[in-house]
C-alpha cells in the first residue's frame, strides 16, 4: 500500500549519510533536495560544514545535483555556491524533473540516490523513477504554508508505517 512512499533508507541528517553503504549499493550520484534538506527553507546561506560535505562527496567520486521546487534565482545561487548543477521549479514528484536531474548527472536510476525531507515529493518522486530513496528529517520547522499542511498527513503516514513495521 505504501510502497511508493517508503524510503529505502533513513538518516538523521545529510551530514550523517553513510557513504560507504551507498557505494556498496552501487550509487554513483546523489540528487539533493534543497529546502530543509541541505539548507533551511528560504535561506541562501550555505554553511562551511555543507561546503565541506559536498567537497567530500565530490572527492569520493559522487556526482551531485540539486532538485528543488524552489524559484530559479535562489536554487541556482545555492547550487553555484556548492559548485553543482540544479533543477529549479522541478514540480516534484513529477517524473520529468527527476529524469532531467539524471540527464544532468549523466547517470541511470539504478546508480542514483535522492535524499529529501518530504515523503510526498522527494521519496514518492524518487520511487516512481526507481531511485535509491533516502529520507531525512527537516532541518527546520519553518516552511511554506502548503508544506506545513502536507506535513500533518505525512506525519500520520510515517507513524502508521512505523507502527506496522513498514518503516
Residue 38 lies in a domain: yes
Write the pLDDT tens digit of every residue in 99-124.
Answer: 999 999 999 999 999 999 999 999 99
CA dihedral 30, 31, 37, 38 (to 10 degrees): 70
- Lowest average pLDDT, out of 38-42, 60-64, 112-116, goes to 38-42
Of the two residues 153 and 76, the one the predictor is more confident about is 76
* Structure-block grid coordinates of residue 14: 545529510
CATH of the domain at 90: 3.40.50.1000
Q: Which domain holds residue 98?
A: 9-163
Average pLDDT of the residues in 143-152: 76
Work out the pLDDT band at 71, boundaries 50, 70, 90.
Answer: very high
CB atoms within 10 A of CB 98: 26
> Which residues face 113 on adjacent strands?
30, 132
Residue 3 lies in a domain: no
What's the structural domain count of the chain? 1
Residue 144's pLDDT is 73
Q: What contacts 54, CB < 8 A, 6 or more positions away?
A: 64, 82, 83, 84
Residue 52 lies in a domain: yes
Per the prediction, the chain carries an average pLDDT of 92
State the pTM of this model. Answer: 0.90
Work out the pLDDT band at 98, boundaries 50, 70, 90.
Answer: very high
CA dihedral 89, 94, 96, 101 (to 10 degrees): 60
Amino acid at each position: 500500500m505504501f510502497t511508493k512512499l517508503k524510503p529505502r533508507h533513513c538518516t538523521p541528517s545529510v551530514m550523517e549519510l553513510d557513504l560507504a553503504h551507498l557505494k556498496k549499493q552501487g550509487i554513483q550520484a546523489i540528487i539533493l533536495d534543497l529546502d530543509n534538506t541541505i539548507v533551511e527553507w528560504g535561506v541562501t546561506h550555505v554553511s562551511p560544514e555543507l561546503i565541506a560535505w559536498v567537497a567530500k562527496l565530490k572527492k569520493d567520486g559522487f556526482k551531485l545535483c540539486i532538485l528543488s521546487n524552489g524559484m530559479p534565482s535562489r536554487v541556482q545561487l545555492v547550487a553555484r555556491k556548492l559548485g553543482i548543477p540544479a533543477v529549479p521549479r522541478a514540480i516534484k514528484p513529477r517524473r520529468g524533473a527527476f529524469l532531467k536531474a539524471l540527464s544532468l548527472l549523466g547517470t541511470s536510476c539504478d546508480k542514483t540516490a535522492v535524499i529529501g525531507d518530504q515523503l510526498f515529493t522527494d521519496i514518492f518522486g524518487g520511487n516512481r523513477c526507481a531511485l535509491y530513496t533516502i529520507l531525512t528529517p527537516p532541518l527546520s520547522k519553518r516552511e511554506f504554508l502548503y508544506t506545513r499542511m502536507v506535513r500533518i498527513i505525512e506525519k500520520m503516514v510515517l507513524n502508521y508505517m512505523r507502527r506496522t513495521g513498514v518503516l
